[in-house]
Amino acid sequence: MNWKLALNIAVTHLITKKKQSIVAMLGVMFGISMFIIMISFMTGVNDFLEKMAMDNTPHLRLYKPVRIKKETIVGQLNNGPDDWVVVHHQRPKNDLPKIRNGLQLAGMIEGLQGVQGVVPAVNSQVFFNNGPVQIPGTMSGIDVRKQDELFLLGNKMEEGSLDELLRSPDQIILGRGLAEKASVKTGDRVSVTTSEGYNIVLKVAGIFSYGIATLDDSKSYGTIATVQKVLQRDPSYITEINVRMNDMSKAVAFRKELELKITEDVLIEDWEEANASILAGEAIRGVMTAVVSFTLLLVAGFGIYNIMNMNIINKMKDIAILKATGFQGKDITAIFLLESVIIGLTGGILGLLIGFTFSYVLSMTPFPEGTFFRINTFPVNFKAEHYTLGIVFGFLTTLFAGFFPARKASKIDPVQIIRG
Amino acid sequence: MEKETILKATNIVKYFHDPVEVQVLRDVSFEVKKGEFLSVVGKSGCGKSTLLYILSTMDTDYEGQLEIRGNKVRGWSQNQLASFRGEHLGFVFQFHYLLPEFTVLKNVMLPALKLGKYSKQEIEHNAMEKLKLVDMQDHAIKRSALLSGGQQQRVAIARALINEPDIIMGDEPTGNLDKTNSQKVFDILQRLAIDNQQTIIAVTHDNDFAQNSDRIIEMSDGKIISTHEISA
């Protein structure tokens, strides 16, 4: 087959029918550019949310659950065969949320395979006092170095530093929103009241921001020793163990393994349970991107199919004469297939350029100042594989759309056309 | 001197199936010699055009045997036939059928480019030669759509000649032309038969055209009813 000749004829056809060719090209261009914009933005949002949620989320969280005993003391006393004991509205026992042997347990888990690190923590609800006003919040006592290593706490510091926190006792760091509500700055003192009524004054060693308002408005961190002191507990008092895995996708399997191994009364929660809504959102955006992109390309494909079909009906006489003068069916197929592929590739490349331009503009656009997320511009990804996917997809669509008209053209019977 | 036979048709039978079955050719047999100028005449519907398209190898739905240059072409695949046509047969139709987007020169070159026997430069040179033969060399770089009917028909002849075919087939080659242009086309064809020993088979309604050729086959109702040799 003589591809050069077929290409020559195809290009001549396209050039003489400029308007038609450009309309077909615009269809592909629009489809591909929308595809690029959609996928860049959607994956950008996904990555942004995932990073935000995952940076400070433990892959596994061990804590002591609040349980209500099924068997009541009254029941134990009156357990004759004819006795019925009904207790309405049973309350839990006043148990401390302490994990027994918490530090040893943390050490044991840290030694297991696949675990990147473990941070034991002391968590408590507290009130921050701003004059007569009490602001509810939480206080976590943590191993500061490990928390920084595993959850990148140091990166989130806006004022002050983690070193400052370690330098002397009775210090805490506050979330930005919380610091604003308590109207304190780095170096100020803040009065904290625990749920049990103990009161203590702590120094603010710094202010952090995760960019997630719900966290920044309520969370504070101190060393384990400081928080234990605030709560007036002993040094073995641990309420939570946070585990970070080397590979977060293995967390669920590891949880099941761990549940069999641990005899202490703890519940284990993995990140997929804790972040089910983020994962669902990601899946929905993924499906949406695929559906919209596919629809756009399908529409562009139908456009090309239509134009090629019309083109071939207009060129019946030409096809007949080419066949009469020695062109074979496959030569004719090649000519018309090349026409649609040229349309597809030109439209596709233009689409990539336009898609890139719009994505770039979007990535520069300021994100509306909100309270939930703290970002400056729209999150947009620029990934080579999306652009490759776009051009390959565009190429295949036009190849497919051009194939049927081209095959029809190759089957035209020259006698019928020439005899009229 | 006995000339060699270039085309031989034996008992060609052809039916049209749509809308009802009609027999259009009944046992047509004849031979054509190399360098002969043959006219096929007859009333409309006598089957002469149908016969020509069978001879052209474009219509493959017939019975009987067709031998061109010693090749029994019946039963060949469409692709084989297309290549065979490109190399050995040339066509001139009533309506010129040039490709309107291409220049005159390119129209003439296309069948040769497809055949791929010569380089592009040689083909271009040959195409110019053929255009000179039909006196169209001055219009070589014009778009073919801009030419008059007579000019287009002459270009179509040049295109039919580009691969030096043994047989040139014409379906009413002068049917659409005035007296002057008809005469020009006839002169060109006659020169090809005499000078180049190329065989011409033309279906025509034009009496003057037929009377000036070497031999006339007259058809009626799907049969050959008479054959006249015309002595020069």
pLDDT category, B26, cuts 50, 70, 90? confident
Q: Which residues, listed in sequence order, are joined to residue B67 by a DSSP beta bridge?
A: B8, B72
Would you call B59 an interface residue with chain A, using a CB distance cutoff of 8 Å?
yes
pLDDT category, A323, cuts 50, 70, 90? confident
Q: Which of A43-47, A50-54, A117-121 has the highest mean pLDDT?
A: A117-121
Q: What is the pLDDT of residue A57?
A: 82
Q: What is the pLDDT of residue B19?
A: 81
Q: Which residues of B11-28 are buried (b: 16+ CB within 10 A; e: fewer)?
A: ebebeeeeeeeeebbeeb
Q: What is the pLDDT of residue A369?
A: 65
Q: How far is A351 from chain B (nearest CA, A)?
A: 29
Q: What is the pLDDT of residue A405?
A: 87
> Structure tokens of B11?
């008992």
Among residues B6, B2, B4, B1, which one has the least CA distance to residue B201? B6
- Record: contact B114-A324, CB cut-off 8 A: no
Instruction: Name the CA radius of gyration of chain A, rounded.
Output: 34
CA diameter of chain B: 51
Q: What is the pLDDT of residue A351?
A: 92
Q: What is the pLDDT of residue B2?
A: 62
Residue A145 CB neighbours (<10 A): 13
Give the chain A residue whose CA is nearest to the CA of B77.
A328
Write out the DSSP string of A220-270: EEEEHHHHHHHHT--TT---EEEEEESSGGGHHHHHHHHHHH--SS-EEEE
Cα angle A376, A378, A381 (rounded to 5 degrees) comes to 125
Q: What is the pLDDT of residue B161?
A: 87
Residue B132 DSSP one-character state: H
Give the chain B residue whose CA is nearest to the CA of A1.
B114
Read off the pLDDT of residues A268-284 as tens digits, 9 standing for 90 and up: 888 887 777 777 888 88
d(CA A297, CA A293): 6
Residue A80 CB neighbours (<10 A): 6
Mean pLDDT (whole number) for A300-327: 84
Window 110-139 of B: residues touching A by CB (8 A cutoff) are 110-111, 113-116
Read off the pLDDT of residues A231-244 as tens digits, 9 standing for 90 and up: 888 888 999 999 98
Which residues does chain B have within 8 Å of residue A320's beta carbon, measured at their own beta carbons?
97
Whether residue A307 contacts residue A20, with contact meaning beta carbons closer than 8 Å, is answered with: yes
User: In a mutagenesis test of the B interface, which of A325, A328, A413 is the best target, namely the one with the most B β-carbons within 10 Å?
Assistant: A325
d(CA A334, CA B48): 34
Q: What is the pLDDT of residue A349?
A: 93
Burial class (CB in 10 A: 0-12, 13-18, 19+), A327: buried
Strands B223-229, B215-220: pairing is antiparallel
| Beta-carbon contacts of residue B27 (< 8 Å; ≥ 6 apart) | B11, B12, B13, B64, B223
Read off the pLDDT of residues A35-49 as tens digits, 9 standing for 90 and up: 889 889 888 888 888
Share of chain A above pLDDT 90, in %: 19
Helix A18-55 × helix A3-16 angle, to 10°: 100
d(CA B224, CA B41): 10
Q: What is the pLDDT of residue A371?
A: 52
Cα angle B149, B153, B158 (rounded to 5 degrees) comes to 145
- Record: contact B86-A329, CB cut-off 8 A: no
Mean of per-residue pLDDT scores for chain A = 85
pLDDT category, B231, cuts 50, 70, 90? low
Q: What is the pLDDT of residue B50?
A: 86
d(CA A150, CA A283): 27
Which residues does chain A have within 8 Å of residue B97's beta carbon, measured at their own beta carbons?
317-318, 320-321, 418
C-alpha distance from residue A138 to each of A175, A224, A396 (Å): 10, 14, 55
CB pairs under 8 A between A and B: 67
> Structure tokens of A236?
């073995």
Q: What is the pLDDT of residue A174?
A: 92
Would you call B83 an interface residue with chain A, using a CB distance cutoff of 8 Å?
yes
Read off the pLDDT of residues B186-200 as tens digits, 9 standing for 90 and up: 888 888 888 888 899
Q: What is the pLDDT of residue A223?
A: 92
pLDDT category, A127, cuts 50, 70, 90? very high
Which ipTM score applies to this complex?
A: 0.86
Give the chain B residue whose CA is nearest to the CA of A325.
B86
Q: How far is A19 from chain B (nearest CA, A)?
A: 15
First-to-last alpha carbon distance for chain B, in angstroms, is 16
Residue A330 CB neighbours (<10 A): 16
Which residues does chain B have within 8 Å of residue A14's beta carbon, measured at their own beta carbons?
none
Q: What is the pLDDT of residue A175?
A: 92
- Record: contact A329-B91, CB cut-off 8 A: no
- Record: contact B91-A16, CB cut-off 8 A: no
Whether residue B28 contacts residue B222, with contact meaning beta carbons closer than 8 Å, is answered with: yes
Among residues A175, A202, A199, which one has the least CA distance to residue A187? A202
User: In a mutagenesis test of the B interface, which of A314, A317, A321 is the best target, namely the one with the most B β-carbons within 10 Å?
Assistant: A321
Which residues does chain A have within 8 Å of residue B163's beta carbon, measured at their own beta carbons?
326
Mean pLDDT (whole number) for A199-226: 89
Mean pLDDT (whole number) for B102-109: 92
Read off the pLDDT of residues B29-71 as tens digits, 9 standing for 90 and up: 888 888 888 889 888 888 888 888 888 888 888 888 888 888 8
d(CA A321, CA B91): 9
pLDDT category, B127, cuts 50, 70, 90? very high
Read off the pLDDT of residues A337-390 as tens digits, 9 standing for 90 and up: 998 899 889 999 999 999 999 999 999 888 776 555 667 788 888 989 889 988
Give φ, ψ of A392 to 5 degrees.
Answer: -65, -45
Q: What is the pLDDT of residue A372?
A: 56
Whether residue A311 contacts residue A339, with contact meaning beta carbons closer than 8 Å, is answered with: yes
Q: Which of A20-34, A216-230, A372-386 has the highest mean pLDDT?
A: A216-230
Read off the pLDDT of residues A284-301 as tens digits, 9 standing for 90 and up: 888 888 888 788 778 878
d(CA B127, CA B163): 10
Mean of per-residue pLDDT scores for chain B = 86
Mean pLDDT (whole number) for B155-160: 90
Whether residue B162 contacts residue B118, with contact meaning beta carbons closer than 8 Å, is answered with: no
For the whole model, what pTM was predicted?
0.72
Q: What is the pLDDT of residue A178?
A: 92
* Cis peptide bond prior to B19, omega within 30° of 0: yes
Read off the pLDDT of residues B107-118 as tens digits, 9 standing for 90 and up: 999 989 888 888
The beta-carbon neighbor of B102 closest among A12, A328, A419 is A12
The alpha helices in A83-138, defined as continuous H runs, are: 102-110
Which residues does chain B have within 8 Å of residue A330's beta carbon, measured at their own beta carbons?
79
User: In a mutagenesis test of the A interface, which of B16, B52, B60, B99 is the best target, namely the one with the most A β-carbons within 10 Å?
Assistant: B99
